[in-house]
Amino acid sequence: MIPASFEYYSPTTLKEALDFLSSREDVKILAGGQSLVPLMKLRLAKPRTIVDLSRIPDLNYIREQGSRIVLGSMTTYEQIETSALLQAKCPLLPQTAAVVGDVQVRNQGTIGGSLAHADPAGDMPAAILTLAAEMKAIGPNGERWIRAEDFFVGLLTSALEPDEILTEVRVPALNGAKTAYLKAAQRAAGFAVVGVAVCLRLDQNGSCNNLAIGVTGVGDKVYRAEAVEKILLGKRLDANFIEQAAREVTRGVDVIEDINGSKEYRSHLAGVYTVRAVKAAMQA
């Protein structure tokens, strides 16, 4: 119930934070703490050093930058959920942020924290992958941009190096693309047993000329349902056709199994939610 003892640093500049990261042992970054703190309380995580990013002033923003929107990594779910800019230009992020955890989690949790944690049932990673976003990491050797498809490496593992900090997330302004995020929520905490994010465009004839589907909760990391995308792309999306295509959503994926769903049930749910999310996006 009480975490093992640790050193706590609360730097006010990014540089200071990076210094702690490279000079201390066994460091964990605190970016909202909605996943880390419970793990520490259960003593499942016992980092020796905590570097809290909350006092660094310039990590919390949502701005338009040309054809893109950039978000500071310490932007909270609540800020994303209520951002007029995102609602207008990249609604998938607010749609997703709105169904994360509960009000307390949304007030505390941050987009950077969620992405770096790389929870295979995380909501935000599904949206980020679907949007083909890019993540800016800053380390001792300067900054680099990591594409979403390269960012989520495996179970609770991202492409960030131990001495890097995720500072910014860059998503495209969607200019009218239709999006939706739907999930089968676990009863008590509401996390995704299966979650599906969809971003699509339809041409004048009603054919789908742009489609991305991100799936969470199903494999050991979030993934794009490429098999489904391939089938639907360039076609008119009638109900039967979507249903047929959605059966491919777990193709090539080693579907996980836990108390919230067997392999068989999860695979089935992934199909159901793919259909529902595609339909919801079409009607968005």
**Under the rule (CB under 8 A), what is the footprint of other proteins?**
1-2, 4-5, 42-43, 184, 186-189, 191, 258-259, 261-262, 265, 268-269, 272
Q: Count the residues in the chain.
A: 284
CB-wise, 43 or 147, nearer to other proteins? 43
Q: Which two tokens stand for residue 10?
A: 């609360």
Q: In angstroms, how far is the first alpha carbon of the chain from the final one?
A: 44
Report the residue number, 35 or 179, with the smaller CB distance to other proteins: 35
Tokens standing for residue 239: 């109900």
Least separation, in Å, of the C-beta of 272 and other proteins?
Answer: 5
Report the nearest approach of other proteins to the CB of residue 195 (Å): 13
112 and 169 in contact (C-beta within 8 Å)?
yes
For residues 227 and 241, give the distance between their C-alpha atoms in angstroms, rounded to a whole number.
Answer: 14
- Closer residue to other proteins, CB minimum distance, 77 or 191: 191
Q: Is 228 exposed, middle or buried (0-12, 13-18, 19+ CB in 10 A)?
A: buried
- In whole angstroms, the minimum distance from the beta carbon of 256 to other proteins comes to 14
Question: Shortest distance, CB of residue 273 to other proteins, whole angstroms?
Answer: 8
Packed helices 263-282 and 239-246: angle between N→C axes, nearest 10 degrees: 150
Question: Shortest Cβ distance from residue 1 to other proteins (Å)?
Answer: 4
Q: How far is the CB of 250 from other proteins (least distance, A)?
A: 16
Helix, strand, or coil (residue 143): strand
Q: Closest CB to other proteins among 173 and 272?
A: 272
The owner of tokens 């809290």 is 52
Q: Of 84 and 189, which has the nearer Cβ to other proteins? A: 189
CA distance 133 to 117: 16
CA distance 210 to 223: 17
Nearer to other proteins, 151 or 191 (CB): 191
- φ/ψ (deg, to 5) at 263: -55, -50
Among residues 131 and 180, whose Cβ is nearest to other proteins?
A: 180
CB of 281 to other proteins, least distance (A): 18
Eight-class DSSP state of 3: P
